[in-house]
Amino acid sequence: MHLSRFIKWTLSAQLALILLAAVTLALLGWNWLRAPIERMTFEQTGRTLTIGGDLAVHWGWPWPRIQAQQVSFANPAWALHRQLLTADALAFSIHLPQLLAGKWVLSELHLTRPVVQLEQGPQGQRSWLLDRQQQDENAGVEIDRLTLDQGVVGYDDPASHTSIRSELPTLPAPAGSAADPGVRFSAKGQFKGLPFKAEGTGDTVLALRNQTTPYRLKVAATVGHTHILATGQVTSLVKFSAVDMQLTLSGNNLNQWFTLTGIAMPATRDYVMQGHLVRQGDTLRYDPFTGRMGSSDVAGWVQLKTGGNRPVLTGDLLSTRLTLEDLGPVIGARAGQLKSAKKAAARSAPVAAATPQSRRVMPDLPFNAEHWDSVDAEVNFSAKTIRRAAAAPLQALVTHISLKDSVLRLAPLQFAFGSGQINAQVTLDGRHTPIQSQAQVQVKRLALAQWLPASPSSKAVTSVLGGQINLAGRGNSVGSMLAASSGSVKLLVSGGEISQMMMEKAGLHLWEMLRLTLTGDKQIKLRCAVANFEVKAGQMQASTLLMDTQVTTLLGSGKIDLAQEKFDLTFNQKTKKTSPVALRSPIHVGGNFVKPIIAVDRARMATRALGSVLLGLVNPLLMLIPLIDAGPGIDSGCAQWLAGKS
């Protein structure tokens, strides 16, 4: 009996409370909750929430819907802007069980004329996190879908020099159309210190965390000198968990993407690329794409996989027609450094003791090795044809680029020259400062005719060039690596023919030069040419330097200074035939790589000429004696060089 009375009393008390709440809501509405909500928010976050207008709750389980007018929520004290959010009105559906557990999960949020100011602080604080230190990632508000009516959104991160303001007006629906009107947005400011501008359109509902509904998006953006045009759809605008877009990229240097993404890219000339971008999980793939870099075409695919110690970039790239100059930025060459040596030699600037920095032949722009630890890479690159340059008549290129733990390897690195080729392996170890480098190069059967100036009267030259180059050095550019390199250079030219006039000029055989001028040049046998250098600290000291032909042998000595890019070589002639009139003298090769200077020993020539004049005073026939190159010299013994010293 007593239990029955207790149950009746309890039910009556609960009914009374419900009736009291109903009467209170009928008399006061939901506005009486504003003060408790504002007080509770301040106690939890230390930041002021103000609800200046009406508050309404539309009950539903587990997603009650709340509406409020004239709402503002303060930023933390460290922030540049006072308010995180101000809005004429907001409405949202909240997951009540999650709220009771202390987590804010909103399925839908609609803001009317909002101004949102998001900021990141100097110690990594984020103003949109609701814990008092603004560093707990679990203390944020999860929003699945967001709609804005004439909104303004700002983001500031002074530490990264980023400040962006975006306006998002709602597009009007087409007259008589039931289609979603969509949202238009525009943004400007700076991103990581670079000027930033963007505009585009998207669906009205912003799918921030929705993992099932793709969000249609079209955006055109400019960051510094980089231009981005993307059209397609994105799933989850916060996580970008899935992407399916047509993407066009253009800019003046691909290495500027490090500033945008934190991933190292090679230096290039201006570029433009169009292709299909897809993301699934932690893999982003640009496949297929086509475009150009400089005046070279490029196509293929690239893929970026995240989730490991560092991103991994893989790809397969092909150029059907590569311009040699476009490789310049990749190896650190200044504009024009890969142009023809003939064009460089035609310049009239005087030759200084050391080659001026602005007139270097070897690439001297430094590599950004400090960025190499931002990514690992395995990329294949090939060029079917290469626009020829007079200084390097390449025909094709194949290489595999590997970057792992800041060590860059090109292996293999193969260049094709008609029937000949160059096979190389290059390693640059960016873990050291300066960079440590190693290069092993093998030269096979390069046709010398491709490297010599063409002459209408010359026959096909069949000489071939081979050899080996092994160098190790230290430096942050190709030029500085060579300037400090040590190792060996061994080159051999064998077989074929060469211009007799060129060799008679080398021996200063005046009579033969006159005869060939009258009768025309001839081709003579080139037995061999050998160039062996020992390299130490950038100094190439000649150990063997000779050219042996049918009429003359040239024997050389001296060195080449890779640091100063200077020649200091001397050649002596040993003629194999008697020449009635010759001013034979050592030939000196000096100057620098930009403008070599070939000169004869004028003092010795003058001595021979003076002796001829004095003898002529005694007897006119005697004046020819000092000018006679008696010969005959002996062959240089090409066989021994071919057998064991090449």
Q: What is the pLDDT of residue 504?
A: 56
Q: What is the pLDDT of residues 551-602, one digit of tens each?
A: 777 788 999 999 999 999 988 877 765 444 444 567 788 899 888 887 765 5
Q: How confident is the model at residue 337 (pLDDT cuts 50, 70, 90)?
A: low
Instruction: Give the pairing type, strands 215-223 and 226-235.
Output: antiparallel
pLDDT at position 630: 37
pLDDT class of 332 with cuts at 50, 70, 90: confident
The answer to whether residue 365 sits within a structural domain is no
Which residues, 6+ apart, have CB-to-CB distance to 68 below 8 Å? 51, 53, 54, 55, 56, 89, 90, 91
List the Cα angle 433/435/438 in 5-degree steps: 145
Pick the most confident of 26-30, 453-457, 500-504, 607-611: 26-30
pLDDT digits (tens, 9 = 90+) for 252-303: 999 999 999 999 999 999 999 999 999 998 999 999 999 999 999 999 999 9
Inter-residue contact 156 to 119 (CB < 8 Å): yes
Note every long-range contact of 177-186, with CB atoms under 8 Å and residues 24 or more positions apart, other chains counting.
180/204, 183/148
What pLDDT, on a 0 to 100 scale, did the predictor assign at position 463? 73
Least confident of 3-7, 70-74, 165-169, 523-527: 3-7
Structure tokens at 74: 């303060």
Amino acid letter, residue 112: T
Tally of structural domains, the chain: 1
Residue 495 domain flag: yes
The mean per-residue pLDDT over the stretch 97-121 comes to 90
Is it the case that residue 348 has pLDDT exceeding 50?
no
Per-residue model confidence as pLDDT tens digits over 486-542: 999 998 887 766 665 565 555 555 445 555 455 566 666 777 788 899 999 999 999
Asked whether residue 533 is domain-assigned, the answer is yes
Q: Give pLDDT, residue 113.
A: 95
Question: Which of the pair, 287 or 457, is modelled with greater confidence?
Answer: 287
**The pLDDT of residue 626:** 39
* Tokens coding 104: 């804010």
Identify the burial level of 179 via C-beta atoms within 10 angstroms of its C-beta, where 0-12 means exposed, 13-18 middle and 19 or more buried. Answer: exposed
Question: CA 355 → CA 34, 206, 347, distances in Å?
Answer: 78, 60, 13
Q: How far apart are the first and last CA of the chain?
A: 118
- Does 531 fall in a domain? yes
pLDDT value at position 609? Answer: 47
Tell me the pLDDT of the chain averaged across its residues.
80
Residue 643 in this model has a pLDDT that exceeds 50: no
pLDDT-derived band at 614, boundaries 50, 70, 90: very low
User: What is residue 62's predicted lDDT score, i.e. its pLDDT?
Assistant: 87
CA atoms of 587 and 502, how far apart (whole Å) = 13
Q: For the segment 14-60, what is each residue's pLDDT rounded down to a tens digit?
A: 555 555 555 555 545 788 889 988 999 999 899 999 999 999 988 88
The reply to whether 598 falls in a domain is yes
Whether residue 166 is contained in a domain is answered as: no
Q: What is the DSSP string of 106-146?
A: EEEEEEES-EEEEEB-TTS-BTT--STTS--GGGSEEEEEE
Q: b/e per residue, 622-632, with b = 16+ CB within 10 A?
A: ebeebbebebe
Question: Lowest mean pLDDT: which of 69-78, 98-107, 122-131, 475-484?
Answer: 98-107
What pLDDT sits at residue 503? Answer: 55
What single letter denotes the amino acid at residue 52? G
Of 67-71, 99-103, 265-269, 381-385, minimum mean pLDDT range: 99-103
pLDDT at residue 395, as a whole number:
80
> Which residue would you say has higher pLDDT here, 203 or 231?
231
Residue 622's pLDDT band (cuts 50, 70, 90): very low
pLDDT, greater one: 246 or 544: 246
Rounded distance between C-alpha atoms, residue 116 and residue 81, angstroms = 10
Residue 289 included in any domain: no
Quote the pLDDT of residue 612. 44
Which of 110, 108, 16, 12 lies closest to 60 in space, CA to CA? Answer: 108
CA 383 to chain centre: 18
User: Is 575 part of a structural domain of the chain?
Assistant: yes
Q: What is the pLDDT of residue 631?
A: 41
The amino acid sitting at 602 is R
Q: Which two tokens stand for residue 508?
A: 């200063």
Query: For 375-426, how does the pLDDT look when each residue is reduced to its tens digit (9 = 90+)?
Result: 999 999 999 988 865 555 678 899 999 999 999 999 999 988 777 889 999 9
Taking only the tens place, the pLDDT of each residue in 290-303 is 999 999 999 999 99
Domain that holds residue 508: 489-605+632-644
Residue 577 near residue 485, CB atoms below 8 Å: no
